[in-house]
Chains A and B, each alone.
Chain A
């Protein structure tokens, strides 16, 4: 890695001022598990801004009526180590507990996974399914962006100069809702999704009252397939309705062929994973 300077601001204001002043010369560091690899690979930067000393980026706040506010720098192990969050958002825990391995989960954050904006980011589809919003602070004040609108291209986001994600907000889980994230990799751990699917469902008297489905690794950004979720609304909970949604997700996928899989293979995976993820989400909704 070339020479960089290092700053560890203690407030959001201080971080925003630094990032606004330095622009593309500055790179943000939370867990560091992506950015340090990129910097060693030649990503230009003159300043690394470590945001882990900012208290609000390290907080987990959960309230059954207000939902979850997850500080952007909270490492994955603290997410799945939090009993209230684990009980309320098992779909989020699916993702937090399979990003990298044990050591990576000791550093890597959900906020960082989102800001890294990889098409394969494991936490992003389930955040979309759970209607998560990114809380952003910048020189002009604060704003909120739905996670499905956050990534704009591989490693590109809606963040403007000086802006940082301070936290991610998830609405409280309603009764009889469930979510699930599933990915396919050719081994059991430590790999990048060939395809990934995040889903959420809400049930009412044996039918779907709402559903959201999002895909990873099959488009330049995580892909929110609104029509797949909408196709479930009002339908009875059965194999036929689930299969229909899975086929819509498959048809919406726009993957490329690369070393991890072909277009055909990835589209097939989207169908299978959507079906399986929906079935688990339905089970979770029945329990909840």
Chain B
């Protein structure tokens, strides 16, 4: 039986080293080894997006990445989205717009939405819906989520004017 592998990463801006089995997903490593339980396991096969994290500037489903593949990577998780006790505008808009019910899908939606608004600060509804097609919500329907992303986009643009 092979041993564990030493993996070096930067997670939410900090150097994080961990030991994992090669079969373990990045999601398992984040939750069970590193203790970052904000990323959720929904389907564990890449369909639901609840485990979405940013990896080297691009969002991925962390259930479909092995922990060992993260060697040398920069990872961004939901835990890195707020600045201390100040929520990110997307988080604030989700709260105010009640864009969540059970909350399991929410970290994935927020990480994915943040990545969208960084690339495209003023997306159309169509662009938001297609960008978020890899994130499933079984409670709210999607309208409140889409409106929250639009609201956050507006506020973020105002803040940069």
Mutual binders A and B: yes
> A107 and B64: CB pair below 8 A?
yes
Residue of B nearest to A31 (CB): B64
Q: A36-B64, A107-B60 are in contact. Are A3 and B130 (CB under 8 A)?
A: no
Secondary structure call for the B interface: mixed
Residues of A104-148 whose CB lies within 8 A of B: 104, 106-107
In the complex, A1 has a CB within 8 A of chain B: yes
Q: B23–A37 contact, CB under 8 A?
A: no
B43-101 with Cβ < 8 A to chain A:
44-47, 49, 52, 55, 58-61, 63-66, 68-69
B21 at the interface (CB under 8 A from A): yes
Of residues 39 through 75 on chain A, the ones whose CB sits less than 8 Å from some CB of chain B are 39-40, 48, 50, 52, 75
A9 to chain B, nearest CB (A): 14
Known contacts: A1-B23, A33-B46. The answer to whether A102 contacts B69 by CB under 8 A is no
Nearest B residue to A38 by beta-carbon distance? B45
Contact A188 B22 (CB under 8 A): no
Q: What residues of chain A have their CB less than 8 Å away from a CB belonging to chain B?
A: 1-6, 8, 29, 31-33, 36-37, 39-40, 48, 50, 52, 75, 77, 100-104, 106-107, 188-190
Q: Are A190 and B2 in contact (CB under 8 A)?
A: no
Quick check: is B30 within 8 A (CB to CB) of the other chain? no
* Interface residue total, chain B, C-beta cutoff 8 A: 33
Known: A32-B64, A48-B22, A52-B69. A103 touches B49 (CB 8 A): yes
**B1, A3: Cβ atoms closer than 8 Å:** yes
Q: Are A77 and B134 in contact (CB under 8 A)?
A: no
A102 touches B64 (CB 8 A): no
Beyond A106-B55, A188-B130, whether A32 also contacts B44 by CB under 8 A is: no
Q: Which residues of A contact B65 (CB under 8 A)?
A: 32, 107
B112 at interface, CB cutoff 8 A: yes
Measured CB to CB, the closest approach of chain A to B7, in angstroms, equals: 11
B46: which A residues are within 8 A, CB to CB?
33, 37, 100, 103-104
Q: Are B66 and A48 in contact (CB under 8 A)?
A: yes
29 contacts between A and B (CB under 8 A): A1-B23, A3-B1, A3-B21, A3-B23, A6-B22, A6-B66, A6-B68, A29-B66, A29-B69, A32-B65, A32-B66, A37-B46, A101-B49, A101-B133, A101-B135, A102-B59, A102-B112, A102-B115, A102-B130, A102-B131, A102-B134, A103-B61, A104-B64, A104-B134, A106-B60, A107-B64, A189-B133, A190-B133, A190-B134
